[in-house]
Amino acid sequence: MILEVAMLHLRPGQADQFETAFREASAIIAASPGYLTHELQRCLEVPDKYLLLVRWETLEDHTVGFRGSMAYAEWRQLLHHFYEPFPTVEHFAPITLPTT
């Protein structure tokens, strides 16, 4: 499992429109091969800041499969105009910790 993490900074005053568009975009990403789950959280201290977490089966499911798809073009059209600046996306892999 790979965790995609993106801190999303919106243009001021766009939160309501963004959340509406994100609801539509959620169905697009959820239909993608290798997709597992996603969640969007809004920052309490900075109202125009969100955290997007997406779980994928593999890194390539996101970076090659989703980003190279027509679905990503729809996702981009719905959401990318809200961001200022454009977010940095990072990927994380779980580590196994010893149990005591």
> So where are the chain's domains?
14-46
CA gap 10, 70 in Å, rounded: 24
Per-residue pLDDT tens listing for the chain (100 residues): 999 999 999 999 999 999 999 999 999 999 999 999 999 999 999 999 999 999 999 999 999 999 999 999 999 999 999 999 999 999 999 999 988 7
- Output the pTM of the full model: 0.93
Q: Give exposure, 7-34, as e/b (b: 16+ Cβ within 10 Å).
A: ebbbeeeebeebeebbeebeebbeebeb
